[in-house]
Structure formats: structure tokens, C-alpha cells
Amino acid sequence: MEIERKWMVKGWPEGLPLREEFAMRQGYISVRPTVRIREEALTGGRTDYILCFKSGGGLAREEIERSIDKELFDDLEYKIIAKPLIPKLRRSYTLPDGSVLEVNHVDEGQPTEFWYAEVEYPTVESALAWQPESCGLGDYLKDEVTNQPGQSMGEYWVETRG
């Protein structure tokens, strides 16, 4: 089960310790249900290839991820998807309460470029109780889009690559 809240943001947050950074590329085989492939290259480290299935949308949904090899990733990218994948840079930050803020910069340098942030939670109750102000992020995380239709990367895929 994936439980996360999502906000539209501008730029990287200031004053938070950086945990890690990934350069990613992702594409969609299907958006309903979500079937996605993603290449995740850790800055200075490994590159992973992931096949992901997600149910529904909103605050809580089922998510199944499996590692795949580069050969299968390439076959899915070029033979099945056959469209440019979405590039994004993700930086993860440790928050004062121990949770992790993931900030994504999507389609950098393109007219469609945008930023969004997510925080994952262990339970729905903890997600609903958490307030950005508790970590000094009230101004940064002010545009929440968690339960708004059309705010998923799958929907963005359809709009820009569909």
C-alpha cells in the first residue's frame, strides 16, 4: 500500500539535508490501471529499472514494483511504448520529524516543465494528521493536490505524450 500526499511546488526546498538524488526516465504502458516503467540512476551510484503497477489514485492505493533488467526495459520502451519517456530529477530530503520529502523536477527546460513534492506515510491516519508547518514547510507545501483529479504523472503522460 502506498500512502502519500502531493503538492505542486516551485524549486528545491532550502535548508533541508539532502539524502539522495536520482535522474529518472519513466513511461506508461497504461494509465488506467497504471503500468509504468522507470529508469532510476542514483547520482554517483547504481541504475535500477523498475516495472510498477498502481491501482486508482488519491491518498492511498495499491502499488506493486518489480525490478527488471535493462534488456526488458529497453524492449518495453522502444517496442511497446515507442514515445519519448518523461525525464525528471528527484531529490530526497530528511525532514526534522524523520519523514522524507521527495521533490521532483519534471521535463526540465521544456515548456511543460513543473515541480512537485511528495511525502509518504505509514498509515492514512498519520498522513491526514501531518502538517507541513510542523517541519517549517508551510509556505513551500501550500498547494496540495493529493486528491485532485488529473494531478498524476500518468495524466501528465497522456497530456504530453498521448
pLDDT in tens, 54-92: 998 889 999 999 999 999 999 999 999 999 999 999 999
The number of residues in the chain equals 162
Residue type at position 150: G
Kindly write down the DSSP assignment for every residue of 120-158, as one continuous string.
Answer: E-SSHHHHHH--GGGGT-TTTT-EE-TT-TT-SHHHHHH
Residue type at position 128: L
Angle formed at CA 21 by CA 141 and CA 63, multiple of 5 degrees: 70
3-state helix, strand, coil in the chain (%, to 5): 20, 45, 35
131 half-sphere exposure, CB direction, 13 A CA radius: 4
Cell of residue 147, nine digits: 486528491
Encode pLDDT of 127-139 as tens digits.
Answer: 999 999 999 999 9
Encode pLDDT of 100-117 as tens digits.
Answer: 999 999 999 999 999 999
pTM of the model: 0.93
pLDDT-derived band at 162, boundaries 50, 70, 90: confident
The predicted pLDDT at position 58 comes to: 87
Q: What's the rounded mean pLDDT across residues 32-46? A: 96
Residue type at position 58: G
Q: Per-residue pLDDT for 149 more than 90?
A: no
Burial class (CB in 10 A: 0-12, 13-18, 19+), 6: buried
- Number of other residues whose CB lies within 10 A of the CB of residue 28: 23
Work out the percent of the chain whose per-residue pLDDT is above 70: 100
Cell of residue 34, nine digits: 497504471
The predicted pLDDT at position 50 comes to: 98
Cell of residue 99, nine digits: 519523514
Strand ranges inside the chain, DSSP E: 2-9, 18-31, 34-42, 47-54, 60-61, 63-67, 86-94, 100-106, 114-120, 143-144
- Residue 160: its H or E element: helix 153-161
